[in-house]
């Protein structure tokens, strides 16, 4: 039988939790919210329904009574436009 000194082993060791800069994080959240508000209505609607409300693209197409292809295109363009707005705002 082998005895292990628990003080000298790293088994079960959990590293210290990372400390996040909450004020900096809140700043980024606010900037992203502002950028989302700047999106054209169609982009904002599709992006919000998908990312924040959790609907898939087929469900969004049903809700908005448009084709799935339209939703997919709007979503892709919304992500690109949002990224552009965020970069202009100095977040990236």
- Distance separating alpha carbons of residues 8 and 80, to the nearest angstrom: 51
Stronger pLDDT, 47 or 12, i.e. the higher one: 47
**pLDDT at position 8:** 67
Query: Does residue 90 sit within a domain?
Result: yes
Query: Does residue 59 sit within a domain?
Result: yes
pLDDT at 46 > cutoff 70: yes
pLDDT tens digits along 24-39:
777 788 888 899 999 9
Query: Does residue 68 sit within a domain?
Result: yes
- Distance separating alpha carbons of residues 88 and 25, to the nearest angstrom: 18
Query: Does residue 53 sit within a domain?
Result: yes
CATH number at 50 reads 1.10.10.10
pLDDT tens digits along 56-82:
999 999 999 999 999 999 999 999 999
Q: Which domain holds residue 73?
A: 39-92
Task: Domain count for the chain, please give it.
Answer: 1
């Amino acid at each position: 039988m082998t005895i292990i000194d628990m003080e000298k082993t790293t088994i079960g060791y959990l590293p210290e939790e990372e400390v996040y800069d909450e004020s900096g994080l809140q700043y980024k959240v606010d900037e992203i919210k502002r950028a989302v508000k700047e999106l054209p209505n169609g982009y904002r609607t599709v992006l919000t329904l998908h990312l924040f409300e959790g609907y898939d693209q087929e469900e969004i197409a049903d809700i908005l009574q448009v084709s799935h292809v339209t939703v997919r295109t709007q979503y892709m363009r919304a992500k690109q436009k949002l990224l552009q707005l965020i970069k202009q705002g100095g977040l990236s």
